[in-house]
Chains A and B, each alone.
Chain A
Amino acid sequence: MSHLDALESQSIYILREAYNRLKPLGMLWSLGKDSNVMLWLARKAFLGHVPFAAIHVDTGKKFPEMYEFRERFSKEWNLNLIVRDCPPVDSVDPSLPPAARSAARKTEGLKRVMNEFGFKGIIAGIRRDEQATRAKERVFSPRADNGAWNFRDQPPEFWDHFKSDLPEGAHLRVHPLLAWTELDIWRYIERENIPVVSLYYTKNGKRYRSLGDQDITSPVESNASTIAEIIQELETTKTSERAGRAMDHEREDAFERLRASGYM
């Protein structure tokens, strides 16, 4: 069994656990590389089907390429797509620094989706190697009814036994990609031939490594125009993936606060 096979198998196991234990279940589809891999893994787990909703919490600030991608592949992959807008920025905690505040709109948007559909499980494509508080996540991570993450008291989780019983109103975030790295994601995309938005490839000497909102994400210097070149670039780089995300650098605790209140 290769490294990628092992990661794939573990993610399939997690997705099947979520599908068996948590109803109703939804998957966040941000249109980025990770969530495309996640959808792909779901189709592997459920033999070509995606037996739950794919949710796009739309900030309205995505790149036009991403909206085109959404229209095309939601049809091609036969997704049960839910798109919901986020509230305006002035409805978000004003004590957050500007970029984090803008990102927090997504948390609010997600809360609205939760209220509307009452999901018990939300599958999200975060990875440990992205950010230090994400590195401390559980695979099945409980969220209170207001979406808050009680990171000071996470439930024990070992031997692939996940906590799946929750009080009314609370939900579980399910993280099938926690053990993957950015490189694993690209190698898997290459191996499986998974479509991704063109923004990841170079254009005028720059490309996006991570796709957030247009106003708070910046591209990195790169000439990589194929997946193989992206992989090659990542094998030697020493900059972190989220270097282009403004909100990660505003204040030491900005990301923790965002995540504690329900951000992915």
Chain B
Amino acid sequence: MTQTTSTAAAIAEEELASNPAANTNDDKARFPFAIVGHVDHGKSTLIGRLLHDTGSLPEGKLAELKAASDKRGGVLEWSFLLDAFQAERDQGITIDTTQIFFSTAKRRYVIIDAPGHKEFLKNAISGVAQAQAAFLVIDAAEGVREQSRRHALILHILGLRQVAVLINKIDLIDHDADRYAAVAAEIRHYLGQLGVTPLALVPISARNGDNIASRSEKTPWYDGPTVVDVLDNFVPALAPVDQHLRLPVQDVFKFDHRRIVAGRIESGRLRVGDQLVFSPSGKQAKIASLESWSAAPQIAAGAGQSIALTLDDELFIQRGDIATHVEHQPHLAHQATVRLFWLDTAPLLAGDRLKLKVATSEYPVFVERIHAVIDVGNLAATQSDRIDQNAVAEVTLRSPALMALDKFDEFAKTGRGVLLRDGDIVGGAIVLHAGAVDQSRHLYSPTQSIGSADRASANGHRGAVLWLTGLSGSGKSTLAVSAEHRLFQRGRQVVVLDGDTLRQGLNSDLGFSPEARAENIRRTAEVAKLLAETGLIVFVSLISPWQADREKARRIVGENFAEIYVQADIETCKSRDPKGLYKKALQGEIKNFTGIDQPYEAPEKPDLTIDTTALTEEQALQHLLDLVDGLSALNGYEGRKPTDSYTI
């Protein structure tokens, strides 16, 4: 036990859990620990029992629990102590995480209960992220299950290294030593792959109280610690005051005619007179004073403290800047490779746009590359182009903004962040590698204009022109508009140039003679080219009946041009006739109508043919979007090489 404890102590010193009660060493401090594991394996029951067996329940609580259990016609459910919602009690399942205070003879604790059901992983993480140690509870009869593994993996990503395993419901396997050993071996192996050595494995019955606060007679073959023993041996983390300074700026106040920089020191220490540099801007100033109210004046402060300071120079500092000492600054990068867990119901795809929020800074990012999705079963890295809810993956993110980042293994608090989509937290990420700086953007040069490569890297895709040709009524506009919506939702810069609309403005002076049509196409192609050069994905929806005109358009636009033949036979188009034009043309009210009294030259070698008479709208759209993805994809940007094994 001594040996494992001292390793744990070493690791614990490196990390600092976000729970405030954790960073302290006085006797009032509360050590936060979490209970994790698969659904129904007895986590909440264990906590209820632990409180009861250590005499921590308030008066009348037991009677209340009995009443709530009787009402539901079952045995006493200790879990009701935590599962306070009616829905939780009625369904016998924890929905949301909760915290409860208790103490042993040795010290005070905060217990964090986590739901085990897959659907509530976001809630489990919300709780567990505040813990400094965890018990992984496994049902002895059911053995290691999917969420047992997933929770173990999440503990690892959260940086939690003090883990003990409780093999519960030992009564269900008749307190059998061999069956216990089999489950123990399985979980030991899995944790071993993660590089985690459990501090202890304990056979327990949460419901009956075996090996919780005292050693049980029913497991004479077990001579290890009880749950309370293990608990009392976890080692509290200390605030990382000895690391380099990291002070993310939270706000700049203008009270009392002064500019006051407010923030919490995440690591290290500072004192009045220190020279600070603010990343990513690189501006420097000295600390003029530390400000406070109703407290003794300070000249120094350290990790964990929320402080306010003034500078000797009126710099333009803003929320999100990160202050450090000059010698030890964070990495500046446009690119970061992260390990993430994804919590949104909608999957994360390559090219998707998000915000990465690290401490108080928010950066727009897009997913440049998905290197691997981790198989929770065997921890193998698998190739995938999507990251589903609750998955763990490694990706490279790219930002048009210069990001000030640390690596997670060097600075826990400024080397991790959340991913936001539409203002919602949809994932968490730890920084493995802070990558390249785009020189063109980093170095501001007033004489150098911004090129299409810069725009592409800012947008996360290249500009492109998708030229949709086909008969009136073949479905060009419908396709273009649905593609526009779909891509816009995925964060792409996109626009549709519709023939009809253009003829109302830019081309309103043109008729339908072959010459006028040629000029119509020339102008449209020039506009499309300009837009594509500014980074947009441009859909042109134009009958453009002549092959020669379309070839000219391709020449004007240059690269990133695709000709798409939206195919439908004339009879179908006539019958669709969405604008009633065929009818008019057939009655002679409109002249020079393609397909009626002017020919349509079908493309000889289109980049894509979409037959709208044979495909559903969704299928047609998918064909088109696949082409767009290929055409607008970024390439030639260096990313980290795909990881083919998940090394921990």
Contacts and interface: CB of A to CB of B under 8 A. Distances in A.
Contacts of B60: 239-240, 243
Given A154-B123, A165-B424, A47 B305 contact: no
Contacts, number: 175
B428 A13 contact: no
Contacts of A240: 58-61
A13 B19 contact: no
Interface in A1-31: 1-10, 12-13, 16-17, 19-20
Given A165-B424, A187-B28, A20 B21 contact: no
Looking at A20, A184, A256, the one whose CB has the most chain B CB atoms below 10 A away is A20
Chain B contact residues: over half helix, strand or loop, or mixed?
Answer: mixed
Interface string B68-91: 100100000000011011110000
Q: How large is the interface on A (under 10, 10 to 19, 20 to 34, 35 or more residues)?
A: 35 or more
A179 B30 CA distance: 10
B87 to A, nearest CB: 6
A94 interface: no
Given A2-B28, A6-B20, A135-B98, A159 B418 contact: yes
A51 B418 CA distance: 29
A166 B423 CA distance: 8
B424 A13 contact: no
Contact of A47 (B61, B95, B255, B343): B255
B460 interface: no
B97 interface: yes
A8 B67 CA distance: 38
Contact of A20 (B30, B98, B251): B251
Looking at A156, A165, A179, the one whose CB has the most chain B CB atoms below 10 A away is A156
Nearest to A17: B250
A6 B21 contact: yes
Contact of B308 (A47, A136, A161): A47
A128 B30 CA distance: 14
A213 interface: no
A136 B23 contact: no
B24 A6 contact: yes
Interface in B93-109: 95-101
Interface in B220-276: 239, 250-251, 253, 255-256, 260, 262, 264
A135 B251 contact: no
Nearest to B108: A3
B306 interface: yes
A152 B413 CA distance: 29
Nearest to B119: A153
A133 B428 contact: no
B294 A156 contact: no
B637 interface: no
Contact of A2 (B26, B30, B86): B26
A156 B123 contact: yes
Contacts of B20: 6-7, 9-10, 179
Interface in A152-210: 152, 154-161, 163-166, 179, 181, 184, 187, 192
Nearest to A47: B293
A69 interface: no
Contacts of A166: 423
Interface in B321-359: 343, 357
Contacts of B343: 156
A3 B264 contact: no
A151 interface: yes
Interface in B16-60: 18-24, 26, 28-30, 58-60
Nearest first, the 9 closest Cβ-Cβ pairs linking A and B are A165-B423, A132-B84, A10-B20, A158-B129, A3-B28, A156-B122, A12-B306, A6-B20, A48-B293
Given A6-B23, A157-B126, A158-B130, 10 more contacts: A1-B23, A9-B304, A12-B306, A16-B251, A20-B251, A47-B255, A133-B84, A158-B126, A159-B417, A163-B424
Interface of A: 1-10, 12-13, 16-17, 19-20, 40, 43-49, 51, 128-129, 131-133, 135-136, 138, 151-152, 154-161, 163-166, 179, 181, 184, 187, 192, 238-240, 243, 252-253, 256
